[in-house]
Structure 1
Amino acid sequence: MPTPTVVLVHGAFADTALWFGVVAELRSHGIPVLAPPNPLRGLASDAAHITSVVARIDGPVVLVGHAYGGALITVAGTADNVVALVYVAAYVPEEGESLSDLQGRFPATELMANLQRWTYRDPAGGEAVEVSLTEEAYPAVFAADVSAPVARVLACCQHPLAEAAFEEKATVAAWRTRPSWALVAGADRTIAPDVERFGAARAGASVVEIDGASHAVALSQPTAVARLIRDAVYAVS
């Protein structure tokens, strides 16, 4: 099998910049990488977008999802050329389960209490609600192990998530038919580490846990994240 292309899917309140260090690490090992933008408009539509990206790739794909991106790769990962899934501080839902359902199994983090809500015009012409983290809370809740200046930049550049995405249910769970790996961020204050552990264990994933890592672990510890992704790539190559 040729070396799989790694497709990196960012989550809410971030963009592709989260993956800069991971991309550099993977490319230094000769692994092809793509980090497409994520619309953050809803589970079904965002997963369909990622599926369309995967369909353009000639050859096998390892899908990597951060945070909300984990839910997207769970759905998009059923594409024929997807050979492995990697979850990074991510939600790992079951078929028929929403993010709210999964998070509701455990005590709430600081995320929900620090969201701000805005309305936007949806494609059908109606009004919908999107959410983002307050700039004041962002550094501590999302990026506690990132330098303060960088965390402040991330806070003002974040991409909001459609609020409805929390309630959409996964229509399929690709981890049932694909091998998976997972990284648990031990000091995550956005998604509770217990949520990450639970989802990873349920999926039978090979798990690495990093004590003290924040939700922004892909940015703060790109070498460790890339190492786990390489493990997945080499295992299926």
Structure 2
Amino acid sequence: MRTYIITGASKGIGHATAVQLAKEGHQVIGLARSQPEDSAPFTEFVPVDLGDQNARLKVFEELAAKYRVDGILNNVGLVNPAPLGEITLDDFDAVIDMNLRVAIQLTQAVLPGMKERGWGRIVSTSSLVTAGVPFRTSYAAAKTALLSFTRSWALELAQFGITVNAVSPGPVATELFNTNNPPGSESRQRYIDGIPMKRTGTPEELAAANCFFLGESSSFVTGQNLYVDGGSSTGHAPI
């Protein structure tokens, strides 16, 4: 049995990953601003505003002292979409904080224990938007930086038995995506038209990739980014 911390765990990909890890017999600690409707997968769920630097650091340090943390999923994110001419620096900073500073602080909190035990798994949720998407300047910059974190940390931590990987989802039918792009809507169809498989992904399909990287069988895989996107990152067949 391993112990994992997931940020952004109350719904979507984070919650689906918690469900899968719990089914495999692991302990899962979830962090998010709101309580999940289904708390069954969690050994402990901590409601915390991850946008509050002091509050989250206190929680991270308490959990690192309380549990033998074997792995983390840096999953929480913030988008703040806007065309270039309307981006505010405050909105930009909020996206950077939620996507990057949270990941750094949580990783730093659990890293000493992982190093001491010679085993650890660090997985981050990046995104297909790193390939370039209009109105996602801030979000794409943050998710691209997460990929840079992944490669740098993988090289730095390999000697300690700690692997570092990323998973980049394409359009996934989460609650937020379904609200913004309801079935039958023009925006949803536009997304689907760009996916070779002609459908959106499910949180469970992303959870499968996360659980592979968090588990025992990925022990010789580090510094990698896996697109789970129905072929979107590959592009369209030329003929």
Task: Output the TM-score relative to the length of structure 2.
Answer: 0.45
Structure with more of its chain in strand, by fraction: 1
Structure with more of its chain in helix, by fraction: 2
Higher Cα Rg, which structure: 2
Task: Output the TM-score relative to the length of structure 1.
Answer: 0.45
- The structure with higher relative contact order (CA 8 Å, sep 6+) is 1
